[in-house]
Chains A and B, each alone.
Chain A
Amino acid sequence: MRLVIPLSITLITGLIMILNYFVPHEPFRFLGDNLQEWYMIVASAAIFLGTINLVQVHVRKIRLKLTNWRYSPVTLVGLVIMLVTGLIYGVVEGAPFDFLFQSMVVPMGATMFSLLAFFVASAAFRAFRASNWRATLLLTSAFLVMLGQVPIGSMLWDKIPLAKVWLMAIPNTAGQRAVMIGAAMGVVATSLRMIFGIERSYLGGSD
């Protein structure tokens, strides 16, 4: 029974959604709309689960004094402060929650992503070698795209941005399209396997 119920739900909902796509009329429209709303409700509930999990993980980390446990109180205090300010004052523009978001979350988030530039530069210096003709081709393309992506490229030679546009629109598109078609076929195959109960790994067990 533990297996039959979830497999039946997957089969029925999967078939309804497929029929809803090809037959956008009643009763499939009604069923499809409702299932989509259920999905949103379930996904919203996952946010609460995530919060509970976050608290559990960090409380355990503090209790057992695991590696880097000193960062965990900061996480928990941040969570509580944002939660309390959001619940009491709301999340409208100008409220304390918005002030904390704009003054702390925004700059810290932007800083984290900006650090990537340093690591990319270091990695490029050490790993980007013209060791064979394929690597040289990649290196040349990268140089053209990097120069074409900034104004200094057109200042050096006005054909560089054109070369960049050609590289992106022709060879890049050909490669990306192959990847997308392959991935889409994989998604279709996996979805059908899940709907018909052949693929069961999403249930969590090996059976």
Chain B
Amino acid sequence: MARLMQRIGNLDRRVIFVLIALSVFLPLSFRIVFPNPVGAEPSRQLYDYVEALPAGSTVLLSFDYDPSTMPELQPMAYAVCQHLFRRDIRIVAMALWPQGASLGQEVLSEVADSLGGEQYVDWCNLGYKTGGGVMIVRLGSSIQAVFPADKDNRPWAEIPMLRDISSLTDFALVISLSAGDPGVPAWVMMAGDRFGVPIGGGCTAVSAPQFYPYLGTGQMVGMMGGLKGAADYESLVREGTEGAPQGQAIEGMAPQSVAHLVIMLLIVVGNISYFAQKRKGGAR
């Protein structure tokens, strides 16, 4: 028994890698989908806020991430865009991260095509600009000064939906899909606190805990945390949307569930082995 415990304690990490790979691969292969009840999560607060916006208002959607965090944040982008288009809310997209502009373009054009949104009328993508928080402050006085043309070099004056937009305060809401810095904190501090623009956001699961203080103080109107946040938003949006492309977040919940269980099981087994060896006086 003691030898077994010791062997478990020294388990080859390749075995762990295979277990994790299977825990993701099998649910995806068999297309297992778990029901995803949405409780009193911050993602529901964001959904309710968007739901309360009047039709015809304009939202600034900032794609502040790159491909490395795309598996968590891209499903959020799809769900949010579906919701905004369904509610006839116009989207002005931009990016604080260089690669976010292209990722945003992919989402916007795909969702707009499926829901009948027209570029430059219902949505436009201003692209990426460097500067982070300082650039956001400049947006507070003039967006055109920062983005004289959109991502495809179309001049500001030739984009009909931007005629009534001059600064951040013209937006009903700013949503930042953020993988780090610059991201949600910069938007909260510069756009929210300084110019009084409501801020919502989405972030990776690992960074979600640090944004909870913003929810408590009302500096953020809502937040999607990790793939679960995306799945919650998707669930809420799907209740009333037809014809929109299928999101990946709900499908991703099954592999994530199994992977979490496997990791927890590994931790329990590791602890059993640890205490067994400790009793024998072998563990430190």
How far apart are the CA atoms of A37 and B144 in the complex, in Å? 12
In B20-75, the 8 Å CB interface with A consists of 20-21, 24, 34-37, 39-41, 66-71
The residue of chain B having its C-beta at the shortest distance from the C-beta of A156 within the complex is B261
Q: Does A124 contact B (CB under 8 A)?
A: yes
Contact (Cβ within 8 A) A112 B213? no
Contact with B along A6-21 (1 / 0, CB 8 A): 0000000000000001
Contact (Cβ within 8 A) A151 B99? no
Question: With A113-B69, A169-B212 in contact, do A149 and B106 touch (Cβ < 8 Å)?
Answer: no
Contact (Cβ within 8 A) A168 B70? no
Q: Contacting B16 at CB < 8 Å: which of A110, A118, A172, A177?
A: A118
In B259-283, the 8 Å CB interface with A consists of 259-264, 266-267, 269-271, 274
Q: Does A53 contact B (CB under 8 A)?
A: no
Contact (Cβ within 8 A) A150 B253? yes
How far apart are the CA atoms of A167 and B10 in the complex, in Å? 33
Contact (Cβ within 8 A) B213 A177? yes
A173 proximity list for chain B (CB < 8 A): 212-213, 215-216
Contact (Cβ within 8 A) B228 A121? no
Contact (Cβ within 8 A) A37 B71? no
Contact (Cβ within 8 A) A110 B71? yes
Contact (Cβ within 8 A) B105 A93? yes
Interface residues on A, range: 35 or more
Q: Does B145 contact A (CB under 8 A)?
A: yes
Chain B facing A: main interface SS: helix
A126 proximity list for chain B (CB < 8 A): 270
The residue of chain A having its C-beta at the shortest distance from the C-beta of B129 within the complex is A40
Q: How many A-B residue pairs have CB under 8 A?
A: 168
Q: Does A198 contact B (CB under 8 A)?
A: no
Question: With A109-B66, A151-B253, A168-B209 in contact, do A39 and B131 touch (Cβ < 8 Å)?
Answer: yes
The residue of chain B having its C-beta at the shortest distance from the C-beta of A29 within the complex is B141
How far apart are the CA atoms of A99 and B274 in the complex, in Å? 51
Q: Does A106 contact B (CB under 8 A)?
A: yes
Contact (Cβ within 8 A) A93 B109? yes
Question: With A112-B68, A165-B39 in contact, do A146 and B209 touch (Cβ < 8 Å)?
Answer: no
The residue of chain A having its C-beta at the shortest distance from the C-beta of B270 within the complex is A125
B141 proximity list for chain A (CB < 8 A): 29, 33
Contact (Cβ within 8 A) A43 B130? yes
B212 proximity list for chain A (CB < 8 A): 168-169, 172-173, 176
Q: Of residues A110, A120, A177, which shows the largest number of chain B Cβ atoms within 10 Å of its Cβ?
A: A110
Contact (Cβ within 8 A) B40 A165? yes
Contact (Cβ within 8 A) A105 B67? yes
How far apart are the CA atoms of A21 and B4 in the complex, in Å? 66
Contact with A along B125-141 (1 / 0, CB 8 A): 00001111011011001
Contact (Cβ within 8 A) A113 B68? yes
Please list the 6 inter-chain residue pairs (A to B) with the smallest Cβ-Cβ separation, ordered nearest first. Answer: A109-B67, A152-B257, A113-B68, A150-B257, A40-B131, A151-B34
The contact sample of 23 A-B pairs, CB cut-off 8 A, is A36-B131, A40-B129, A40-B131, A40-B135, A44-B130, A91-B151, A114-B71, A117-B259, A120-B263, A121-B19, A121-B266, A129-B271, A139-B267, A146-B264, A152-B257, A152-B258, A152-B260, A152-B261, A169-B212, A169-B215, A172-B212, A173-B213, A176-B212
Residues of A participating in the B interface, judged by any CB pair closer than 8 Å: 21, 29, 33, 36-37, 39-40, 43-44, 46-47, 90-93, 98, 101-102, 105-110, 112-114, 117-118, 120-122, 124-126, 128-131, 139, 143, 146-147, 149-152, 154-155, 161-162, 165, 168-169, 172-173, 176-177, 179-180
Given A106-B67, A131-B274: 15 more A-B contacts, CB < 8 Å = A33-B141, A44-B130, A46-B130, A106-B70, A114-B71, A117-B259, A125-B267, A146-B260, A147-B264, A150-B260, A151-B257, A152-B257, A152-B258, A155-B35, A165-B39
Residues of B participating in the A interface, judged by any CB pair closer than 8 Å: 11, 13, 16-17, 19-21, 24, 34-37, 39-41, 66-71, 99, 102-103, 105-106, 109, 129-132, 134-135, 137-138, 141-142, 145-146, 151-153, 194, 205, 208-210, 212-213, 215-216, 226, 228, 231, 253-254, 256-264, 266-267, 269-271, 274
